[in-house]
Structure formats: C-alpha cells, structure tokens
C-alpha cells in the first residue's frame, strides 16, 4: 500500500500573498487546522497552522507569508512512497496532517492522522472468526467443529478456565483481532496461542488419516 492509497485528495491550499483573514475563513469553512502554501504552479512552498493564524491576528500580521513555515521546516511525503512512511512520520513528528507531493513537488493530497487511524483500525476491526474461517478453508480435511474443539482445549489449558467449543465460537464471533491481541497480551502471544491450536488440530487430522 502506497501513500497515494491512504491520502485525502480533497484538501485546501492558500497562497503566500493571501491575507490571513482570507486564509482563516477558508480554514474554518473546511475545518482544517493546517493548510499547505502553494506557488502558482501548485508546488509546495510552505505550511501554516491555525495556531500561526491566531498568533498572526494577535501580532497584527497581514499576509500568509508573514506567518508561514517554509517547506524545509515541515514533514512531507511522496505519493509513491510506502504508506508506512507516512504512518511513521505522523507518529514521530506528532502532526495532524502531512502534505503529499508528486515527482514535480506539486501537492496532490494530504495524509491526515485520522485517515491513518481509520486505515489501521480496519485491521483491528476484523472479527477473529473470519481468520478462523480462512484457516478452515486452507486446512483441507479439518472441520469448523474440530477447529472450535481444539481452540476450546487450548484456551482451557492456557487460561485455566472452563470454556466449551460453542462458547469459544460465540466469543470469536463477537471479538475483533484488536481485542484478541489485547486480550492475549500482544501479537506474539496471539500467534503462539494460534499455532498451539493449529498444532492440535493438525495432529488430530494426521491421527485420523492414519486410522
């Protein structure tokens, strides 16, 4: 997945000689805390935030160039870079939005942190039973009931608490991958439990085949 696929192409922009009054009206109308400053060929030359604007009003500045940060002082990414570059940049620099450039330094979009949250949380929101369904389809010769039975056995062994195959099935129909990771104590532990289930179910499949 590239930056291009997670960027928002509906962004606003201002020019360096626009008044800060005009810029503030535009930012408020579109509910943007930040906006790129572009030259007349749509290339990125700077960046302003609504906090630069409030300071500008207090200190009686008039135009965008009086308050803007130059291009060199801000984070930006290119549309064909891997999406994780934008994710890491947002996390490291703690910014709400990152301008996305094409190969000619023209601004073609913005990656906004809540878009990243949406993309990342989709992963978390996958229901665990979807993963188990994919596994049953892959493991020819293993039924859904056998997988649930093995899962209940491993879960009982690891938690020390009674759980039936039916109860386990109900649980994974409700819980998401994100919840499962948090519940098991991290991704590695989730995989360890998962492979333990896999080992049991495969061992049973092999034993059945030998009969």
* Binding interface with its own copies (CB under 8 A): 1, 21, 24-25, 27-28, 31, 33, 49-51, 53-55, 57-58, 82-84, 87-88, 90-91, 94-96, 112-114, 116-118, 120-121, 123-126, 130-131, 133-135, 137-139, 176-179, 181-182, 187-189, 191-192, 194-196, 198-199, 202-203, 206
Bridging pattern class, strands 77-78 and 97-101? parallel
Rounded to a whole number of angstroms, the minimum distance from the CB of residue 172 to its own copies is 13
Give the residue with the Cβ less far from its own copies, 83 or 153: 83
- Between CA 78 and CA 94 the distance in angstroms is 18
CA-to-CA separations, 68 to 6, 106, 179, in angstroms, rounded: 26, 18, 42
If the CB atoms of residues 26 and 42 are measured against its own copies, the closer one turns out to be: 26
The CB-of-161 to its own copies minimum distance in angstroms stands at 20
Residue recorded with tokens 């940060």 = 69
Q: How far is CA 205 from CA 88, 185, 191, 201, 202, in A?
A: 43, 29, 20, 6, 5
In the DSSP assignment, the letter for residue 8 is: B
Q: Look up residue 125 and give its DSSP letter.
A: T
Cβ nearer to its own copies, comparing 75 with 106: 75
3-state class of 121 per DSSP? helix
| Both tokens assigned to 107 | 């601004």
| Residue (164 or 174) nearer to its own copies, CB | 174
Nearest to its own copies of 96, 145 (CB atom) = 96
DSSP state of 79: T
Minimum CB distance to its own copies, residue 209 (Å):
10
Question: Nearest distance from residue 54's CB to its own copies, in Å?
Answer: 4
């Amino acid at each position: 997945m590239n930056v291009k696929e997670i960027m928002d192409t509906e962004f606003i922009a201002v020019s360096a000689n626009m008044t800060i009054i005009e810029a503030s009206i535009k930012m408020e109308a579109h509910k943007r805390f930040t906006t790129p400053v572009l030259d007349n060929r749509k290339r990125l030359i700077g960046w302003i935030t609504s906090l630069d604007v409030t300071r500008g009003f207090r200190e009686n500045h008039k135009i965008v160039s009086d308050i803007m940060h130059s291009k060199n002082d801000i984070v930006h990414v290119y549309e064909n870079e891997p999406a994780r570059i934008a994710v890491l940049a947002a996390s490291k620099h703690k910014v709400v939005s990152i301008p996305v450039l094409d190969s000619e330094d023209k601004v073609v979009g913005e990656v906004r942190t809540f878009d990243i949250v949406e993309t990342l949380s989709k992963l978390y929101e996958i229901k665990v039973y979807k993963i188990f369904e994919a596994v049953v389809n892959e493991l020819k010769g293993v039924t859904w009931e056998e997988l649930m039975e093995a899962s209940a056995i491993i879960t009982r062994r690891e938690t020390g608490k009674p759980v039936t195959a039916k109860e386990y099935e109900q649980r994974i129909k409700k819980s998401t991958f994100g919840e499962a990771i948090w519940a098991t104590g991290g991704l590695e532990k989730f995989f360890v439990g998962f492979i333990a289930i896999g080992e049991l179910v495969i061992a049973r499949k092999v034993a059945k085949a030998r009969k």
